[in-house]
Amino acid sequence: MALGVLEYFFWALLIFAFAMEAWALFDSLTVPANAYQAASKQSKKLWTILLGVATVLGLGFAVIPLQGVSPIGALLGILPVAAFIVAAVYLADVRPAVKQFKNRGNQGGRSGPYGPW
């Protein structure tokens, strides 16, 4: 099956969405669990599960055009849109809130055995 220009564009959107979902999942794994609580957000466990499912869905939909399915039809479904929304909410709302707690113990890399100096 030969893809047209519009189908390549939609396939690029699916790949971009997967990249955002993977980035959000990786970022959520690097944030300490107590940072979510301190920022009054949902738990790390919930965000990791949501973003893990979103990343798996994103990967599935990003490679679906390789099976001969039109990326336009895949992108217009509810699942890839929901997966992208989960990642977008994390990156736009949760990530900025927990970012201030992310590297709290590392004050510019100058840390001695009893704390920063």
Side chain identity, residue 57: L
Q: Which residues contact 91 (CB under 8 A, 6 or more apart)?
A: 20, 23, 24, 27
Tokens of 52: 């893990």
pLDDT confidence bin for 13, thresholds 50/70/90:
very high
Q: What is the pLDDT of residues 22-44, one digit of tens each?
A: 999 999 999 999 999 988 899 99
Q: Give the pLDDT score at 101.
A: 82
Would you call 11 exposed, middle or buried from its count of C-beta atoms within 10 A (0-12, 13-18, 19+)? buried
Tokens of 49: 């599960």
